[in-house]
Amino acid sequence: MAEHHMNVEPLTSAIFRSSNPAGSLAAIVMMAFLLIVPAVWNGIPLFYYDSVDYLRLSFTFDLPVFRTASYGVFAGFARLLGSLWAVIVVQVLMIAYTLWITARTLAPDMKPMTLVAVVSVLCLVTGLPWYTSQVMADAFSGTVVLGVTALALSDKSIGRLHEVLLTVVTAIGTAVHTTHILVASGLVVTLIGLFLLKRRMPCLPNIRLVPPLTTIVLALCLATSMNWIITSRVFLVQPTATLMLGLFVENGLAKRFLDDTCPEQPDSFRLCAHRNQLPDNAADLLWGSDKGLLERLGGWKNTELTKEAQSIVKGSMKAYPIDFIRQSIVFTLRQFRMIESGDGLKPMNWHLEGSIREFYPTQLDAFLNAHQQQNGISLRFLHPIELTVYFASVLLLPVLAWMVRRHGNGPAMVLPLLVIMPLLGNAFICGAGSAPYHRYQGRMAWVPTFALVLIASPAPHSVHKRSIRNVPPRLSPLHGSDGRIRHFELADQVSHAPDRPPDRHDFGRGQLGRYGHRPPLADRVPPVVPGSSEKQVAWVGALAVVTLMQHVQLARIAHGQSVSVPVCVSPCPSDVRIDRAILGVFVEMARPGPACVFAAGLVDLTPEVTGARAMLAAIPVGVFATALGANLGL
């Protein structure tokens, strides 16, 4: 007999169709406001040491040798609109949209106001709003991870417009900083691994590689083109030898290399004469005063110093490879735990006042009177809270994912990996590649907490189309000693007949598909009299099951829970479609009134049907009318 495949129809499309656009827009605006509250309290956007280069770029087109141009071009919104607020407003709207579309993709049953409440809590217990309120590319670090993940795990139900918009927003956030490109690229490599692994583990969710790859390519094009527009040179990142020298000064390998080399070759490096004056950390070497050691040797633009730094870095790595690897691991782990918010939010009068006076004179008073310029901003009160929340979220992510795996929530199974790997990658890139700073990891420390909420949020089983042949054996029906099926799991999705449009009687939309909407029970009960047809009998049985689920609070679609009921078995017709590739009840309305109820499952009858055919379970009215009706008062 021909083999029939039962395709899963994603539930998220119904949810998107039934969502309220006005409510979603209001949620995005409210989240954007929450993300900008620190700037509003400060009286002007927050600034870091690097902010001055980005603000000046759109006026001077002068790109420092240690910067890339993308965020400077993005900061040109301030020049276009004549206000520093323009940068922050556009920034937080993009971030709020990414949060919304990620929640809609990975937790589609989450209501917009629930998402706003989640972001409110994040703003209280993490440093999220303190980064999004800064004129810094760090604001996008976390949303790059979420955007790429959402694109990979989404299905076409989010719509072409949202997919394109999310791709563009994520690409812009990726392009504004070199570390974002590296982190996003590492995440795509992880997605490719999961894509290949799915062949051996069918329970994994479908991974879409084209949207994330498109995002990376677009980000690379944006970053390279922005650098070319500003400098007339095509490059992705400028020479980093001097930055790397700072790292080797901090880990002690540069001093060790110079001590071993200079006595025999005193003229080989200019730093030989200053090797005993090297600072203890990279910041003092790279960003010290104008009279610091780096400036005395020629500064960032000195090509001879750049070549010397490159020689010292390469020589140290070659002479002490084991020590370099050990220090890289130590710095990575150190960076992973350094998340204290408020790093660098000190008074910036000495650093920014001249640029504000020159380019934004109307906002000079607001800048000088801001809290940051008065006494600086200290977030010591937040540090123990965010540290606890950060590590608790990282530890609970895989635990919670393991707990919800039985409910078929595919994205939840891989989301911990897609969050923790970028965190580790960011710690390695920044800690082992530059030097550990709190802002590097703090800018992403809120992501695992947000991911934890997405996993804990009720989510439909069927986010991706699968074949019933991919159902793991552990989901097979329970068999009695005589080989007959005794129980099956109730599915939380049902579908309307393919040959007619859905109506309010359909389980897939009217009864269970919409948020909080269920037609009255009387509207769904057809008349049942002795001698009724099999379809009417089955319909009453289905109502009893649904009522049971409602009474034990298992009826909501996204909860992913089930109950067991006895069934009897008969062959499954070839034209039956089910909405979930696990055992379940499938209700198909032929017309308003009569209906058919099917219990779909894998059965071990013969080798020919195992794993390839489903069975039709006709639910006798007597079992439910007596056993359930007496207990539930039907």
Q: For residue 12, is it within any domain? A: no
Higher pLDDT, 200 or 496: 200
- If asked whether residues 39 and 187 sit together in one domain, one would say yes
- If asked whether residues 245 and 212 sit together in one domain, one would say no
Report the alpha-carbon distance of residue 528 to residue 533 in Å, rounded: 9
> 310, 278, 316: which is closest to 296 by C-alpha?
278
Cα-Cα-Cα-Cα dihedral sign, residues 570, 575, 576, 577 = positive
Phi, psi of 46 (to 5 degrees): -80, 150
Residue 20's pLDDT is 72
Domain count, the chain: 3
Residue 56's pLDDT is 93
Kindly state the DSSP code that residue 264 receives in the 8-state scheme.
Answer: T
Q: Kindly state the tokens that stand for 114.
A: 């629930």
Whether 452 shows a pLDDT value over 50: the answer reads yes
Report the alpha-carbon distance of residue 515 to residue 111 in Å, rounded: 8
Determine how many CB atoms are found less than 10 A away from the CB of residue 301. Answer: 10
Whether 314 shows a pLDDT value over 70: the answer reads yes
- If asked whether residues 225 and 261 sit together in one domain, one would say no
Q: For residue 434, is it within any domain? A: no
- If asked whether residues 396 and 497 sit together in one domain, one would say no
- If asked whether residues 286 and 362 sit together in one domain, one would say no
Report the alpha-carbon distance of residue 176 to residue 147 in Å, rounded: 15
> 292, 274, 272, 273: which is closest to 282 by C-alpha?
292
Residue 291's pLDDT is 56
Half-sphere exposure of 234 (CA within 13 A, CB side): 2
Q: Lowest mean pLDDT: which of 4-18, 215-229, 541-555, 565-579?
A: 565-579
- If asked whether residues 66 and 203 sit together in one domain, one would say yes
Q: At what angle do helices 112-125 and 21-42 cross, to 10 degrees?
A: 20
> pLDDT tens across 413-431, in order?
899 999 999 999 999 999 9
- If asked whether residues 309 and 383 sit together in one domain, one would say no
Confidence tier at 618 by pLDDT (50, 70, 90): very low
Q: How confident is the model over 229-235, as a mean pLDDT? A: 90
Q: For residue 14, is it within any domain? A: no
Residue 145's pLDDT is 97
Determine how many CB atoms are found less than 10 A away from the CB of residue 547. Answer: 18
Last residue of a domain, one of 456, 481, 507: 456
Residue 240's pLDDT is 78
Q: How confident is the model over 520-532, as a mean pLDDT? A: 38
For 560-595, give one letter per residue: b (16+ CB within 10 A) or e.
bbbeebbbebeebeeebbbbbbbbbbbbbbeeeebb
Label residue 264 exposed, middle or buried (CB < 10 Å: 0-12, 13-18, 19+): exposed
Last residue of a domain, one of 290, 319, 348: 319
Residue 91's pLDDT is 97
Report the alpha-carbon distance of residue 499 to residue 296 in Å, rounded: 80
> pLDDT tens across 544-590, in order?
444 444 343 333 333 343 333 333 333 333 333 333 332 333 333 22
Phi, psi of 564 (to 5 degrees): -115, 135
Tally: H helices and E strands in the chain:
29, 7
Q: Cα-Cα-Cα-Cα dihedral of 437, 443, 444, 446, to 10°?
A: 120
Q: At what angle do helices 160-175 and 85-106 cross, to 10 degrees?
A: 130
> pLDDT tens across 140-162, in order?
999 999 999 999 998 777 888 99
Contact between 255 and 275 under an 8 Å Cβ cutoff? The reply is yes
Report the alpha-carbon distance of residue 35 to residue 407 in Å, rounded: 33
Percentage of the chain lying above the pLDDT 70 cut? 67
Residue 407's pLDDT is 57
Q: Lowest mean pLDDT: which of 175-179, 254-258, 292-296?
A: 292-296
Contact between 564 and 548 under an 8 Å Cβ cutoff? The reply is no
Q: For residue 304, is it within any domain? A: yes
Residue 293's pLDDT is 77
Residue 225's pLDDT is 95
Whether 224 shows a pLDDT value over 60: the answer reads yes
- If asked whether residues 102 and 247 sit together in one domain, one would say no
Half-sphere exposure of 138 (CA within 13 A, CB side): 32
Range of the domain at 267: 241-319
Q: Cα-Cα-Cα-Cα dihedral of 622, 625, 631, 634, to 10°?
A: 180
Higher pLDDT, 465 or 25: 25
- If asked whether residues 38 and 177 sit together in one domain, one would say yes
- If asked whether residues 211 and 295 sit together in one domain, one would say no
Q: For residue 213, is it within any domain? A: yes
Report the alpha-carbon distance of residue 465 to residue 10 in Å, rounded: 6
Higher pLDDT, 96 or 616: 96
> pLDDT tens across 321-332, in order?
999 999 999 999
Percentage of the chain lying above the pLDDT 90 cut? 48
DSSP annotation string for 430-492: IIITT---HHHHHTTTTHHHHHHHHHHS---S-SS---GGG--GGGSPEE-TTS-EEEEEPPS
Q: For residue 326, is it within any domain? A: no
How big is the CA angle at 519 (ends 513 and 520), to the nearest 5 degrees? 145
Whether 542 shows a pLDDT value over 60: the answer reads no
Q: For residue 108, is it within any domain? A: yes
- If asked whether residues 221 and 275 sit together in one domain, one would say no
Last residue of a domain, one of 399, 433, 456: 456
Whether 434 shows a pLDDT value over 70: the answer reads yes
* Entry field: residues in the chain: 634
Residue 408's pLDDT is 53
Report the alpha-carbon distance of residue 282 to residue 299 in Å, rounded: 14
Contact between 101 and 25 under an 8 Å Cβ cutoff? The reply is no
Determine how many CB atoms are found less than 10 A away from the CB of residue 227. Answer: 22
Label residue 377 exposed, middle or buried (CB < 10 Å: 0-12, 13-18, 19+): buried
Residue 9's pLDDT is 35
Determine how many CB atoms are found less than 10 A away from the CB of residue 193. Answer: 13
Q: For residue 478, is it within any domain? A: yes
Higher pLDDT, 124 or 625: 124
Report the alpha-carbon distance of residue 169 to residue 211 in Å, rounded: 12
Residue 5's pLDDT is 36
pTM above 0.85, yes or no: no
- Residue 409 forms beta bridges with which residues? none
- If asked whether residues 249 and 165 sit together in one domain, one would say no
Q: Lowest mean pLDDT: which of 99-113, 396-410, 510-524?
A: 510-524
3-class DSSP state for residue 598? strand
Q: How confident is the model over 252-261, as a mean pLDDT? A: 91
Mean of the per-residue pLDDT values of the chain: 74
